[in-house]
Amino acid sequence: MSLNAVAHLNFTGQARAALEFYQSVFGGQATIVTYGDFGLPAELPDAGKVVFGQVTADNGFSVMAYDVPGTDGPATPATPTTRRENGTTITKEPFFLSVRGATVDEVSPVWKGLAEGATVIEEFGPAPWAPAFGMLADRFGVTWIIDVAAGYAQG
């Protein structure tokens, strides 16, 4: 299974929950800290609540997530919550992440894991251009494309 590059996701007070969720889906190692871990509460009153960290999946893919300092409103399920700006991803517009595998069996568990609490945009199943394809906005509003490349399946 392959995933695209490194995902930098900026959440409104939900980075810890997002990182724990992505670790449950992709496996691997999670590193989760707060600004307070670096002795910053005096400079930033809510430092103990501002989380950042990453999940590094077993295949090397990383999902990095940050909380927006001073914001603790939850993301709205099914509402796109991310957009690219100056190399960082911040909230409010769609951001697409791809998961591609060689077989349906390889990507099905990822689809099922991400689909928990998600809004399905396009059902996971056969597509004219691929043996399997689906798209969903996960519980944090991050849009994922899951597919089996026709080239993989034929090989």
Q: What is the pLDDT of residues 90-148, one digit of tens each?
A: 444 456 788 888 899 999 999 999 999 998 999 999 999 889 999 998 888 788 899 99
User: What's the pTM?
Assistant: 0.77
| Residue range 7-67 in CATH 3.40.50.150 | no
The span from the CA of 113 to the CA of 91, in Å, is: 22
The span from the CA of 136 to the CA of 104, in Å, is: 16
Domain with CATH 3.30.720.110 in the chain: 83-148
Residue showing tokens 């769609």: 94
Domain with CATH 3.10.180.10 in the chain: 7-67
CATH fold for domain 83-148? 3.30.720
Phi, psi of 43 (to 5 degrees): -80, -30
The span from the CA of 138 to the CA of 17, in Å, is: 13
Give the tokens for residue 24: 């449950």
